[in-house]
């Protein structure tokens, strides 16, 4: 039996997402560096024009989140 893959729309310019992970290596956002801890941060998707193609998108971290903060 084959499982159908869910259809996921690609991100649009300006979309935001919340990420969390245990930081084994240092991660710096807005001049604040954290590591060796469980952390949450907010990312925004931006589309840029570069050498690889007309619109290459990337997720960029914009700020740290605390435990009770909402995106």
**pLDDT tens digits, residue range 32-61?**
999 999 999 999 998 877 666 656 788 999
Using a cut of 0.85, tell me whether the model's pTM lies above it: no
Q: Considering Cα of 12, then 14, then 70, then 65, what sign does the dihedral take?
A: positive
Q: Of 25 and 13, which is predicted with more confidence?
A: 25
Domain-wise residue ranges, the chain:
11-24+38-71
Distances (CA, A) of 34 to 19, 38, 43, 67, 71: 14, 9, 16, 15, 19
pLDDT band at 20 (very low <50, low <70, confident <90, very high): very high
> Are 16 and 42 a contacting pair, CB within 8 Å?
yes
Say what the pLDDT of residue 54 is: 58
């Amino acid at each position: 039996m084959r499982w159908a893959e869910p259809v996921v729309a690609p991100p649009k310019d300006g979309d935001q997402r919340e990420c969390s992970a245990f930081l084994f290596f240092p991660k710096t956002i807005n001049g604040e560096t954290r590591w060796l801890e469980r952390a949450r941060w907010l990312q925004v998707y931006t589309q840029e024009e570069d050498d690889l193609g007309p619109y290459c998108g990337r997720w960029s971290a914009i700020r740290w989140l605390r435990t009770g903060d909402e995106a």
